[in-house]
Structure 1
Amino acid sequence: RCTDFNTTNIDADIVHCHTWYTHFGGVLARKNYGIPLVITVHSLEPLRPWKREQLAGGYDFSLWVEKTALEMADAIIAVSGETKRDIERLFNVDPARVHVIHNGIDLEEYRKIDSVVALKHYGIDPRQPYLLFVGRITRQKGFIHLMRAIQFMDRDFQIVLCAAAPDTPEIAKEMKTAVERAKAQRPGIVWIDEMVDQKIACELYSHAAVFVCPSIYEPFGIINLEAMACESPVVASAVGGIQEVVVDGETGFLVPLEQMEESPFELTSPEKFARDLAVKINQLMKDPELREKFGKAGRKRVEEKFSWSAIARKTKALYETLKR
């Protein structure tokens, strides 16, 4: 519900903020009106130094807003256990105020579908297997490592890159150059340079032989839930909350990566990660039975662990402990 701060009579029980963009309003509500403040942490600014490319001096402001809000909040929801540990390490907060409640998805909206209309529209051959990447063009999503891995991949499958919304013009140029280089190396690369809607995304997930998530920082990785709900097996980097979503050897493969322990958290061996990523993708592409097994197990895991109804119950229970 929208709250009007230009009044002395605010009857809200809780103010719940998501991401630093909204935190300042939450801080004002708590400070001026005594309304309990809940913050859900989907990412942490100190762990995303590449955002300075996009925000310039605004990055320092985002760091300050996030720190101020988290240290004032009555309760903090971390979207993964890994995120909870990061919050407690980076900020002056009582661990008892930090609660792990995973993200979820709508299982009715995200499910395997038969339609191939979108595939044909984008020039994807539905008769041939394809590797799928879906994500924003940002350093966080690891697109450059995926592009580096392509040279090590077998050539008997398509590669579909549903990637748009670059953080900066420079990153957009990097992506364009990388795609052009990859297309010169092998056939079957399709770049969907636009943000697609949920229906099209479901179609892409549903027919993907393998979904890949090469992120270098991912507090949760809801994109993997979407793919798993549509019965796509996942190959993902073993980082952050992804490790609480994808079960290695059961719903897909997790690929370890070694990073610098301090900012800018770059990979210490990017070529090794690229090769290891390609090895797991090639392995799954050669094994249709394993792909189907992982896909079914992925859907089952999402149904059992990540439905919105279960997450809503946990969130409501937390609210009840904070009501004035």
Structure 2
Amino acid sequence: MRTASRILVAHPSPDLYGSDWQLVETIHGLIEAGHEVVVALPLDGPLVEVLRDAGARVAVMPFTVLRKALLSPTGLARLSAQAAPEIARLRAVIRASRAEAVLTNTVTIPWWPVAASAAGVPVLAHVHEAEDTQRRIIRAGLNAPLLAASRIVANSGAARDALLDVQPRLAPRTEVVHNGVAGPDQPLEPLRHRRPGDPFRIAMVGRLSPRKGVDVALDAVGLLRRSGVDASLSVCGSVFPGYEWYEAELRERAGRRDLDGHVELLGYVRPTWPVLEAADAVVVPSRAEPFGNTAVEAMHAARPLVASRVQGLAEVVTDAVTGLLVPIEQVQDGTGTPTDPDRFVADLAERLTAVATDEARAKSMGVASRKRVEEHFAWTAIAEQTMEVYRWALDHG
């Protein structure tokens, strides 16, 4: 990579969740390599201070971020009709920044790769999505702007396959680099020995979103409790604007008789290590998950993990070795809804029961998890691979 390059990074969210923290780690690596980094965000938020502490400059400016309402043929057509003025505006921003490369983080900011290419600047696109439940025409349109990218990093084989399924021309430019996830600053306490009468404490970390399956986790814990397991659930995560209805549904469900007093909706929590340290198991019941940073965090904590066998989670978790995977069949209609939601809940509860009733197996999976994460998913194991891709993009863009 050329010395002291100026890199403009476009990112769709000012929050602090999986892809946001992945971006922070990447920016640390770029700055440590001697590069100047400017980050463009569409809104102010908690990520701004973290990026500035990392040494990046931050510019808050309006630009299009794709939301679910636009993921229809009509929505994409409307978006395309509005593209020309925004591409021109972003091209002017890129030229004024004197950036020598542009990094676009996720496919939900479609006009940045096109604008960078129009400005004559190499584009590195980082794909964190593995949409395979949307209709093919929608997925093709969603990923079409990546045709302007010089190089593409997909955070899992699932994300790469979903991309190339609808844009096969991108195959020579696309490379899989799994997310690197930082572990705790200090070693956590090992998994506790549960004495007779001790409750079974389950943790979940993630957005309060239907895609993350928080409702499935609540129903599974209710099923455990009705079967005689004294289970409780702590959920770390906040809701996307516009999804307040989902949080209200979760709170209503948590207040029912079978769960009342045994579910904590903690809101946004950072760091999550104290919650994971207190847990006897971690659950990741996502209906769609291109990678699964929260699963890797559970592995750092050496906690037994129960997760959906879906997309990137199937790459992260080795079934019956580092955790237990729950089958989930999805309807290919854009909803990601399991064909048999009751079976999904029952299977999740069954595997959580297996962890609760077999302490030796739970500890074995936790130990195996920590070994696997240190070898494959710790940031130190991923950093050089990530930086090598960025060097190539700058040198050959």
Please classify the TM superposition score into its range, dividing by the shorter chain length. Answer: 0.7 to 0.9
Flag the structure with more relative contact order, 1 or 2, with Cα contacts below 8 A and sequence separation at least 6: 1
Q: Do the aligned partners of 1:157 and 1:188 also contact (CA within 8 Å) in 2? A: no
Q: Structure 1 pair 262/249, CA: closer, same or farther in 2 (3 Å)?
A: same
TM-fit CA distance, 1:158 = 2.4
What is aligned with 2:121? 35
TM-fit CA distance, 1:223 = 0.3
Q: Paired residue for 1:221, among 260, 271, 292?
A: 292
Amino acid at match of 2:177: I
Q: Do the aligned partners of 1:232 and 1:294 also contact (CA within 8 Å) in 2? A: yes
Q: Structure 1 pair 150/48, CA: closer, same or farther in 2 (3 Å)?
A: farther
Q: Do the aligned partners of 1:71 and 1:92 also contact (CA within 8 Å) in 2? A: no
Moved over 3 A (4+): 3-13, 20-23, 44-49, 108-111
Q: Paired residue for 2:178, among 78, 102, 127?
A: 102
Q: Do the aligned partners of 1:111 and 1:202 also contact (CA within 8 Å) in 2? A: no
Q: Structure 1 pair 8/106, CA: closer, same or farther in 2 (3 Å)?
A: closer
CA distance in 1, matches of 2:94, 2:338: 51
Amino acid at match of 1:38: L
Amino acid at match of 1:71: L
1:260 paired to 2:334: no
TM-fit CA distance, 1:9 = 7.5
- Equivalent pairs: percent with the same residue? 28
Q: Do the aligned partners of 1:46 and 1:63 also contact (CA within 8 Å) in 2? A: no
CA distance in 2, matches of 1:20, 1:176: 32
Q: Paired residue for 2:229, among 141, 149, 155?
A: 155
Q: Do the aligned partners of 1:70 and 1:93 also contact (CA within 8 Å) in 2? A: no
What is aligned with 2:201? 130
What is aligned with 2:310? 239
CA distance in 2, matches of 1:250, 1:77: 28
TM-fit CA distance, 1:281 = 0.2
TM-fit CA distance, 1:25 = 3.1
Q: Structure 1 pair 7/69, CA: closer, same or farther in 2 (3 Å)?
A: closer
Aligned residue for 1:161, secondary structure, equals strand
CA distance in 2, matches of 1:132, 1:82: 25
Q: Structure 1 pair 144/208, CA: closer, same or farther in 2 (3 Å)?
A: same
Q: Paired residue for 2:251, among 163, 168, 176?
A: 176
1:2 paired to 2:38: yes
CA distance in 1, matches of 2:187, 2:101: 33
CA distance in 2, matches of 1:285, 1:188: 20
What is aligned with 1:248? 319
Q: Do the aligned partners of 2:355 and 2:361 also contact (CA within 8 Å) in 1? A: yes
Q: Structure 1 pair 204/25, CA: closer, same or farther in 2 (3 Å)?
A: same
Q: CA RMSD, aligned part only?
A: 2.8
CA distance in 1, matches of 2:102, 2:140: 21
Q: Do the aligned partners of 2:133 and 2:332 also contact (CA within 8 Å) in 1? A: no
CA distance in 2, matches of 1:110, 1:298: 17
Q: Structure 1 pair 10/151, CA: closer, same or farther in 2 (3 Å)?
A: closer
Q: Do the aligned partners of 1:155 and 1:187 also contact (CA within 8 Å) in 2? A: no
Amino acid at match of 1:109: D
TM-fit CA distance, 1:173 = 1.9
Q: Do the aligned partners of 1:111 and 1:229 also contact (CA within 8 Å) in 2? A: no
Correspondence 1:141-152 to 2 at 5 A: 141-152=212-223
CA distance in 2, matches of 1:268, 1:140: 15
Aligned residue for 1:93, secondary structure, equals helix
TM-fit CA distance, 1:23 = 4.5
Q: Do the aligned partners of 2:236 and 2:268 also contact (CA within 8 Å) in 1? A: yes
The number of residue pairs the alignment matches comes to: 297
Amino acid at match of 1:17: T
Q: Structure 1 pair 12/164, CA: closer, same or farther in 2 (3 Å)?
A: closer
1:190 paired to 2:263: yes
What is aligned with 2:105? 18
Aligned residue for 2:325, secondary structure, equals strand
Aligned residue for 1:254, secondary structure, equals strand
Greater shift after overlay, 207-216 or 311-320? 311-320
Runs of at least 5 residues in structure 2 that lack an aligned partner in the other structure:
1-36, 40-58, 60-91, 191-197
**Cα offsets for 1:36-71 (capped at 9, x unmatched):** 11111112567479xxxxxxxxxx9x996x434312
Q: Structure 1 pair 71/149, CA: closer, same or farther in 2 (3 Å)?
A: same
**Cα offsets for 1:246-272 (capped at 9, x unmatched):** 110111100101111232231100001
Amino acid at match of 1:195: Y
1:280 paired to 2:351: yes
TM-fit CA distance, 1:291 = 1.2
Runs of at least 5 residues in structure 1 that lack an aligned partner in the other structure:
50-59, 115-126
**Cα offsets for 1:11-41 (capped at 9, x unmatched):** 5443211124555334322211x21111111
CA distance in 1, matches of 2:255, 2:353: 22
Amino acid at match of 1:19: T
